[in-house]
Amino acid sequence: MNNKVIIVEKLTKIFNGFTAVDGISFEVEKGEIFGFLGANGAGKTTAMKMLCGLSMPTSGKAIIAGFDVYRENESIKKNIGYMSQKFSLYEDLTIKENIRFYAGIYGIEPKVIKTKTALLIEQLSLEKEANMLVKQLPLGWKQKLAFSVAIFHDPQIVFLDEPTGGVDPITRRDFWNMIYEAAAKGITVFVTTHYMDEAEYCDRVSIMVDGQIDAMDTPGNLKRLFQAESMDHVFLQIARKAKRAE
C-alpha cells in the first residue's frame, strides 16, 4: 500500500453529457515508468488533468502521493511535477529566469535555487545559453528544459503529456535518458505518448479506448497476449475498436 503513489478507482469525467473518462481504475508504484497510451480523443489528457488537480472529477476516487484529489488538491501540487502538451515556459524570460520563477513559487530556498540551477545548466550543457530568452532555443532543448523545470522541486510523481511531440529521434533518446535518470532517483513517471517505441521503454502501459482502459500490463506481457511482435501492433489492434470520432 505504501508503495502505491497513484491509486485510481472508477474515475469519471463528464462534460455536458459527454463522458470523456469513463470509470478508469489503476495503480502506479513508486519509481515506476507508467505509459498512458490511447488514440487522440481517448481521454488521456483529461484523465491526467484530473490526477494533477487541474480538472475536477465528476465521480470516482483518486489518491495521488497519499492525498485525495477532492480535498487535498493543493497538497498534491507540492508533490507532483507536470509538463503539458503545450510548451509552457515563458518565452520572454531567459532559461535562468524561468527556472528561478518556477522554483520560487514552489517555495525553494534562494540558496538552493542558485546551486541547483548552476548544476542543472551544467548537466544540460546550456552554459552559453543560460541568459538567452527561451524563445531563441530549438524545440528539443526547450522540451528538455521544460522537463527539468517540472522535476526541479524533486516531486514524487511527474506527469508528462506527450513530452516528445515534434522532437527529433536523437533528442527523444536524450529525453528518455532523462526520464530513466529521474525514475532511478525514485520519481514516478506518468507519461502519455503516441510513439510506440517509447511505449516499449515503459515499465507498464495502459491503453485507453473511448474513455476506458482496455488493456494494462508490461509491454512484454501485452505483446504475448495479443501475439504481436511490437507495441505498435498491440496498439493498432486495441485502438481500432474505438467508436468515438477523433
Partner 1 sequence: MSPLKYILQKEFKQIFRDPAIIRVIFILPIIQLIVLPMAADYEIKNINIAIVDRDHSTSSGRLVHTITSSGYFRLVDYSSNFNQAMQGVDNDKADLILELPQGFESDLYARKETRVFLAVNAINGVKANLGATYLRTIIQNYNNDFRVAVLTPGRFNDLPVIETTSSNWYNPKMNYTFFMVPGILVLLITMIALNLSAINIVREKEIGTIEQINVTPIKKVHFILGKLIPFWILGLVVITIGFLISWLVYGIIPLGSYLTIYLFAAVYLLVILGLGLLISTYAENQQQSMLISFFLLMIFVLMGGLYTSIDSMPEWAQWVTKFNPVAYFIEVMRRVVLKGSGLKDIRQPMLIMLGFALVINYWAVLSYRKRS
**Interface contacts to partner 1, rule CB under 8 A:** 52-56, 73-75, 77-78, 80, 82, 84, 86-93, 97, 100-102, 104-107, 109-110
Residue 54's φ and ψ, nearest 5 degrees, are -95, -20
Amino acid at 67: F
- Return the CA Rg of the chain: 18
Q: How far is the CB of 215 from partner 1 (least distance, A)?
A: 28
Closest CA to 96 of 84, 114, 78: 114
Q: How far is the CB of 222 from partner 1 (least distance, A)?
A: 30
Q: How far is the CB of 229 from partner 1 (least distance, A)?
A: 38
Number of H helices, E strands in the chain: 9, 10
Q: Which is nearer to partner 1, 15 or 180 (CB)?
A: 15
Q: Which is nearer to partner 1, 17 or 110 (CB)?
A: 110
Q: How far is the CB of 78 from partner 1 (least distance, A)?
A: 5
Q: Which is nearer to partner 1, 84 or 192 (CB)?
A: 84
- For 60, 112, 153, 191, the CA distances from 35, given in Å and listed in that order, are 21, 32, 22, 5
Q: Which three cell numbers stand for residue 121?
A: 545548466
